[in-house]
Structure 1
C-alpha cells in the first residue's frame, strides 16, 4: 500500500507532504483545484515520461517520493528480476532536473524508467477513463478469467514450454535453411575437402621440403665444398687438425711455467675437441651426400602441390590450410548428417507440442469452468449499479496455434438491454456503462487476487443518486482487502471514505499553489454539504450530509 507521498516543485505544488491509511480514501476538491496534479505526480513514480514543463520553478529540481509497504505483495521475484534490493518499506523517488533530465531511484538505487514501470504496475493501479478501454483488450479479459480459474501453475509451465517450443522451431528453421543452402555447396565442398585430405597436410612440411629441395638441387656444389673442407682439415702436413694438434703439443710443454700458458693450452685443447667434432660432422655429411634425381623430382612436385593449394585458398601457411580442411570437414559432415539432425529435432518438437496441447487443454477446461461464476457475479453487481438487463456472453474457442497464454480464442460480448444483440464491449456499452463494468470487474478481481493499491479517477462520472451510492459501497467493500482511493465529485461516494482528503488552491504572494489536507468532523460535514448544494449551505444540505456520513 501507499503510505506516504512527497511532492516538491511540481506543477502548482511547492511542497506537499501526505500520509495515507489503509481502507477507503476519498479525494475531493473543486474542478481545477489540482486533483489531476496528484495523479500526474503518481504517474511519474510509476515510470511515466517526464518533461521540463512539470517544474513549477524551472531553476530548481522537482522531487517526487512515495513510500510503499510491499510486505504483503510477494514481490521479491520482481525485485530480483529487475536487480533491485528488496525492502518491505520501499521508497521510490523521481527527480526532474532543470536541464530536463530525469532520474529514478528505488531504495536509493538508481534504476531505469522501464524498471520503474515493471515495479509500478505491481504497486498502484490508477484507473482513468483511458484505462476503461482495457476492458476491450484480450489480455485484460484473460487476466480476469485466469484470476478466477487459479491457473498460475499450469500457465507458468505452459509459457516455459512455449519458450522451448519456439526455440526448437527456430533451430529447425535454421537447419532447414542451412540444408537448402548447403545442398547447393555440398558437392563443391566435398571436392575441396577430398583434395586437402589427399594432400596429407603436415604443419611445417613446406619449410622442410624447401630446405631438402635446395640441398638436392645443389648436390654437386655442396659435395665439392664439403670435400675441400674435409681435405683442409685432414691433410697430414698442412691440415687444420695436424696444425692445431702440434700447437697443443707445444703449449703442453710450457703450460707448467705460467698460468697464462696453462689457460691458452686449455683453450687450444677445447678448440681441438670442437674441431674434431666438426671434422666428424663434415665426414658424415660427405658420406651421406648422394645425388637422387627421383627424390628431387618428388620434392619439387610436392612443393608445387602445396604452393598451388595455398594459392587456391589464399593462405600463406600449411597450418591455415589445415584449419580450412577442418572447417570443410565439419561443414560436409553437418550436411551429410542434416537429415538425421532434422529428424531428431522434429521428434523433440513433436514431444513438446504434445505437452503444450495437454497444458493448453487443462487451461481451457479451468477457464471454461469459471465463466458461469464470473458472468453471474458481474451481472449481479451491474444490476445493483443500475444496469438490471446487463448480460455477458463469454465463450472460449480452441485455436489452431499456440498463443502466449494458451490456445483459447476469447469472445467477451455484452448486451446492456433486454433482448439486445451481444456485441464487443466497445460497441455495446457507453462510456458511463464501461466505467461501471470496470468497477464490477475490479470488485470481482479483488476477491480472487492480491491487487495493488487502486485509485479510481472519477469512475462515477455520469451517474448519480442511488447508483452512485452503490458504487461507493462497492469501492468500500473492496477496501476491506486492499487500499482504495477514489477521486470523486459525488457526495454519496465521498461519504463512504474512511479518510477524506481535500485538494484546494490558494494564492500566496500572488502565486497560486495546490495543497492537500485531511478533513474531519464538522469540516467534512461542510465539504459533503457543499458537494450536495453548493457553497451556499442550507440546513437541509447539512442534515443530508450528516445522514450520508452516518
Structure 2
C-alpha cells in the first residue's frame, strides 16, 4: 500500500508531501492543475527513464520518494535475492540531477532501474488512458488468463523448456548451414589436402635442402679446398702432423733432463690429438664430397615444390604448410561427421520439442478454464455498466509454432448489441465501452493477483450518470479487498465514493506557478463535488446534490 508521496523540485511542484489512506480514494482538480505531473513522478519511481527537463527551473536536482507498506505481500525473497534490507515499510527514492545524472534507491540502497521496476510492478499499477490500447495486445490478453489461472510457476517451467528447444533448434540450423557451406568447399579442400599430403612435408627440411643444394653446387671447389687442407696436415714431407709429432718426441726426450719441458710436452700432445682428429675428419669429407648432378636436380625440384606451395598458400614456412595440412584434415573430418552431428541434434531438438508441447498443453488446459471464468465474470460485470446485450468471448486457437508464452493464440471478442457479430474488442468498442471493459478486466486481475495499489487515471472518460455510479461501485468494492485504489476523476459520482478525497490545484505568485495537493475535509468535499456538478458558480442545488451524493456513499 502507498502510504505517502514526497516530491521536490519536479516540474511545477516545488515541494509536496502527502499521505494516502487504504481503501478507495479519489483525486480531483481542474485540467492542468498537476495531476499528470504527480503520475509522472510516480512513474519515475516505477523505473521510467528520466528527463532533466522535468527538474523545476533553477533547481539543481529533484527528489521523488514514496513509502509503501509491504508486510502482507510476501516479498522477503525478492529482498534477499537482491541483497536489500527488508522491513515492513519500503522506501523508493529517485534523484534527478540537472547534470543528467539519475540515482535510484530502495531502502537507501542504490539499485538499478530494472530492479526498481521489477519490485515496483509488484506494489503499484498505474492505469492511464493509453493503457486501454493494451486490450488489443495479445500478450496482455494472454496475461489476463495466466493471472487468473495462477500460471506463474508453470509458465516459468515452460519458458525454460522453450528456451532449451530454441537453443537446440538454432544450433541445428547453424550446423546445417555450416555443413552446406563446407560441402560446397569439399572438392576444393580435398584437392588442396591431397597436394599437400603428396608433398610429405617435414618441419625443418627447407633449411636442410637449401644447405645441401649449396654444397652440391660448389662441390668441386669444396673438394679441392678440403684436399688442400688434407695435404697440409698429412703431406709426406711437410705435413703439420708429422712435424708436430717430431716436436712432441723432442720435448719428451728433453724433459728427462729439463723438467719444465714436461708441461710443454703435455700441451703439445693435446694439440697433436686435436689436429689429428681434425685431419681425419677432413680426409673423410674429401671422400664424401662428390659432384652429383642427379642429386642436385632432385634437391632443386624439391625446393621448387616447397616454394611453390608457400607462394600458393601465402605462407612463409614449412611449419605453416604442415599446420594448413592439419587444418584441411580437420575440416574434411568435420564435413564427414556433419551428418552424424545433424542427426544427433535433430533427435535432441525433436525430443525437447515434445517437452515444450507437453508443458504448453498444461498451460492451454489451465487457460481454457480461466477463459470460461473471464467470459462469465466480464458479462456479469458489464451488464450493470450499461451493456445489457453484452457478449464477451475469449477465443483460443493453437499457434502454428509455440511462442515464449505457450502454444495459444488468444483474442478477446466483443459485441455490445444484439444485431452485431463478435469482433476483436478494439475494432468495435467505443471509448466509453473500452473504459468499462478495461475497468472490469482490472478488477478481475486485481482480485487474482492481489496487487497492493491500483491508480486509475481518468478511466471514467466517456461515461456519465448511472454508468459512472456502477464504475464507482467496482472501484469502491476493489478498495475493500485489502487493496488500495486511487482514482483520478472528473465525475462527481466517483469522487463522492472515495473514503478520502485529495484535491490538486495550482497557485501563482509574482514569479512562478506551483502545483499542490491536499486532502479535503468534509465541508471542502461538498464544495468540490458541487463544483464538479455545476461548474465554477456554486448553486444551492449543486451543494445539496453534493451532500446527497456523499450521504449515499456513507
Per the shorter chain, which TM-score range?
0.7 to 0.9
**SS across alignment from 2:9:** strand
Determine if the alignment matches structure 1 residue 199 to structure 2 residue 199: yes
SS of equivalent residue, structure 2 residue 463: coil
CA shift at 1:192, angstroms? 0.8
Distance 1:447 1:543, change over 3 A: closer
> Which sections of structure 1, spanning at least 5 residues, go unmatched?
none
Alignment of structure 1 residues 155-234 onto 2, 5 Å: 155-234=155-234
Structure 1 residue 135 displacement after superposition:
1.0
**Cα distance change, pair 93–213 in 1 and its aligned pair in 2 (3 A):** farther
Task: Answer yes or no: is 1:430 the counterpart of 2:416.
Answer: no
Equivalent-residue separation in structure 2 for 1:41 and 1:216 (angstroms): 92
Return the offset for 1:378: 1.3
Q: Deviations over 1:314-352 (max 9, x none)?
A: 111112112221221222222223333223322222222
The answer to whether the Cα contact below 8 Å between 1:532 and 1:545 also exists between their aligned partners in 2 is no
CA shift, 1:137, in A, is: 1.1
Deviation at 1:305, TM superposition (A): 1.9
Q: Match of 2:364, SS? A: helix
Give the structure 1 partner of residue 502 of structure 2. Answer: 501
Residues 107-122 of structure 1: pairs in structure 2 closer than 5 A: 107=106, 120-122=120-122
- TM (norm. structure 1) is 0.85
RMSD: 3.6
Aligned-pair CA distance for 1:374: 1.2
- 2:382 maps to 382
Q: Secondary structure at the match of 2:323?
A: helix
C-alpha displacement of 1:38: 0.5
What is the CA distance between 1:141 and its match in structure 2? 0.6
Q: Output one character per residue of 1:477-507: Cα deviation in whole Å (capped at 9) or x when no partner.
A: 3333433221123344334434433222222
Q: Which residue of 2 aligns with 1:359?
A: 359
Alignment size in residue pairs = 543
What are the within-5 Å matches in structure 2 for residues 469-548 of structure 1?
Answer: 469-479=469-479, 480-532=481-533, 536=538, 538=540, 540-541=544-545, 543-544=547-548, 546-548=550-552
How far did residue 525 of structure 1 move? 4.9
Cα distance between partner residues in 1 of 2:384 and 2:267: 121
CA distance in 2 between counterparts of 1:317 and 1:4 reads: 77
Question: 1:239 offset after TM fit, Å?
Answer: 4.9
Q: Distance in 2 between matches of 1:23 and 1:256?
A: 126
**Residues 167-215 of structure 1: CA distance to partner in whole angstroms, max 9, x if unpaired?**
3333333333333333332112111111112222222221122223323
Name the CA distance, whole Å, in 2 between partners of 1:536 and 1:491.
14
Aligned counterparts of 2:476 and 2:249: Cα–Cα separation in 1 = 121
Task: Decide which moves more: 245-254 or 448-457.
Answer: 245-254
Tell me how far 1:139 sits from its aligned partner: 0.7
1:302 corresponds to which residue?
302
**How has the CA–CA distance of structure 1 residues 215 and 471 changed in structure 2, closer, same or farther, with 3 Å as cutoff?**
same
Residue 24 of structure 1 and its aligned partner are, at CA, apart by 3.0
Q: How far apart are 1:548 and its partner, in Å?
A: 4.1
Q: 1:153 to 1:274 in 2, by over 3 A?
A: farther
Does the CA contact (< 8 Å) of 1:92 and 1:104 recur in 2?
no
| CA distance in structure 2 between the partners assigned to 1:505 and 1:397 by the alignment | 52
Task: Map 1:252-267 onto structure 2 (within 5 A).
Answer: none
Q: Does 1:105 align with 2:107?
A: no
Cα distance in 2 for residues equivalent to 1:424 and 1:78: 41
Distance 1:223 1:40, change over 3 A: same
Please name the residue that 1:394 is paired with: 394
SS class of match (1:384): coil
Q: Unaligned regions of 5+ residues in structure 2, if any?
A: none
Question: Which whole-Å CA distance do the structure 1 matches of 2:509 and 2:266 have between them?
Answer: 112
The 1:255–1:412 alpha-carbon spacing in structure 2 relative to 1, beyond 3 Å, is farther
d(CA) in 2 for partners of 1:431, 1:137: 16
Partner of 2:413: 413
Which is further off, 459-468 or 291-300? 291-300
Distance 2:503 2:393 in 1: 41
SS in 1 for 2:472: helix
Please give the TM-score of this superposition, normalised by the length of structure 2: 0.85
